[in-house]
Amino acid sequence: MNKKRSNKLIEETSPYLLQHAENPIDWHAWNENTLKLANTSGKLIVISIGYSACHWCHVMEHESFEDDDVAALMNQNYINIKVDREERPDIDQVYMNAIQLITGSGGWPLNIVALPDGRPVWGGTYFKKEIWMNALNQISNLYKTKPEKLFDYADKLEQGLKNIDLITLNPNTDDFSTEFIQQTIDNWSHQFDYRFGGMSRAPKFMMPNNYQFLLRYAYQMNDLPLQEYVNTTLTKMAFGGIFDHIGGGFSRYSVDEKWHVPHFEKMLYDNAQMVSLYAEAFLITKNNLYKDVVIETLNFVDRELKGPHGNFYSSLDADSLNHEGTLEEGAYYVWNQNELKSLLKEDFGLFADYYNVNAYGFWEEGNYVLIRSEDDDSFLKKHELTSESLFKRKENWKDILLKARQKRKPPRLDDKTLTSWNAMMIKGYLDAYRVLKEEPYLHTATTCGEFLLKNQIREDGGLNHNFKNGTSNINGFLEDYATCIDAFISLYNHTLDLKWLFISRDLTNYCFDFFFDDQSKLFFFTSEKDTALVSRSVEYRDNVIPASNSTMAKNLFTLSHYFDNEHYAKTAETMLNNIKPEIQNYGSGFSNWLYLMMNYTEPFFEVAIIGNESLEKIKELNLNYTPNKIVAASFKEESLPLFKNRAVEGKTLIYVCVNKTCNMPVDTVEKAINQLKKYP
Integer Cα distance of 410 and 264 in angstroms: 12
- What's residue 258's pLDDT? 97
Q: Which residues contact 384 (CB under 8 A, 6 or more apart)?
A: none
463-514 pLDDT per residue, tens: 999 999 999 989 999 999 999 999 999 999 999 999 999 999 999 999 999 9
Q: What's the mean pLDDT in 399-428?
A: 97
Contact of 644 with 606, CB cutoff 8 Å = no
- Can you give the three-state secondary structure of 106-136, one letter per residue? CCCCEEEEECCCCCEEEEECCCCHHHHHHHH
Q: What's the mean pLDDT in 64-81?
A: 97
Q: What's the mean pLDDT in 272-281?
A: 98
Q: What's the mean pLDDT in 273-281?
A: 98
**What confidence tier does 2 reach under pLDDT thresholds 50, 70, 90?**
very low
Angle in degrees, CA 364, 370, 376, rounded to 5 = 150
Angle between helices 498-514 and 548-563 (to 10 degrees): 130
Contact of 614 with 633, CB cutoff 8 Å = yes
Contact of 383 with 372, CB cutoff 8 Å = no
Integer Cα distance of 72 and 52 in angstroms: 24
Q: What's the mean pLDDT in 34-39?
A: 93
- What's residue 288's pLDDT? 97
Side-chain half-sphere of 678: how many Cα atoms within 13 Å? 12
- What's residue 165's pLDDT? 72
Report the chain's terminal Cα–Cα distance, integer Å.
72
Contact of 264 with 195, CB cutoff 8 Å = no
**What confidence tier does 679 reach under pLDDT thresholds 50, 70, 90?**
low
Angle in degrees, CA 184, 190, 196, rounded to 5 = 120
Angle between helices 439-455 and 478-495 (to 10 degrees): 140
Residue 3 has pLDDT above 70, yes or no: no
Residue 263 has pLDDT above 80, yes or no: yes
* Higher per-residue pLDDT: 333 or 533: 333
Q: Which residues contact 570 (CB under 8 A, 6 or more apart)?
A: none
Residue 79 has pLDDT above 70, yes or no: yes
Q: What's the mean pLDDT in 17-36?
A: 95
- What's residue 75's pLDDT? 97
137-to-44, 72, 76, 77, 647 alpha-carbon distances in Å: 12, 12, 11, 9, 75
The sign one gets for the Cα dihedral 666, 667, 670, 676 is: positive
Side-chain half-sphere of 180: how many Cα atoms within 13 Å? 20
**What confidence tier does 535 reach under pLDDT thresholds 50, 70, 90?**
confident
User: How many C-beta atoms surround the C-beta of residue 317 within 10 A?
Assistant: 25
User: How many C-beta atoms surround the C-beta of residue 147 within 10 A?
Assistant: 13
Q: What's the mean pLDDT in 166-171?
A: 80
555-to-309, 482, 494, 501, 561 alpha-carbon distances in Å: 27, 7, 17, 11, 10
Residue 680 has pLDDT above 60, yes or no: no
**What confidence tier does 406 reach under pLDDT thresholds 50, 70, 90?**
very high
Pick the CATH number of 210-238+294-310+415-601 from 1.50.10.20, 1.50.10.10, 3.30.420.40, 2.70.70.10: 1.50.10.20
Long-range contacts of 475-478 (CB under 8 A, 24+ apart): 475/527, 475/529, 475/530, 476/419, 476/527, 477/89, 477/90, 477/420, 477/525, 477/526, 477/527, 477/548, 478/511, 478/515, 478/523, 478/524, 478/525, 478/526, 478/539, 478/548, 478/549, 478/552
Q: Which residues contact 667 (CB under 8 A, 6 or more apart)?
A: 651, 652, 653, 654
Contact of 578 with 165, CB cutoff 8 Å = no
Domain formed by 8-164, architecture? 3-Layer(aba) Sandwich (3.40)
Average pLDDT in the chain: 95
* Higher per-residue pLDDT: 661 or 346: 346
**Beta strand 78-84 pairing with 44-50:** parallel
Contact of 629 with 604, CB cutoff 8 Å = yes
283: three-class secondary structure by DSSP: helix
Lowest-pLDDT range of 453-462, 485-494, 651-660? 651-660
**What confidence tier does 647 reach under pLDDT thresholds 50, 70, 90?**
confident
- DSSP E strand boundaries for 553-611: 605-610
Q: What's the mean pLDDT in 206-225?
A: 97
- What's residue 1's pLDDT? 41
552-567 pLDDT per residue, tens: 999 999 999 999 999 9
Which pTM was predicted?
0.95
Residue 371 has pLDDT above 90, yes or no: yes
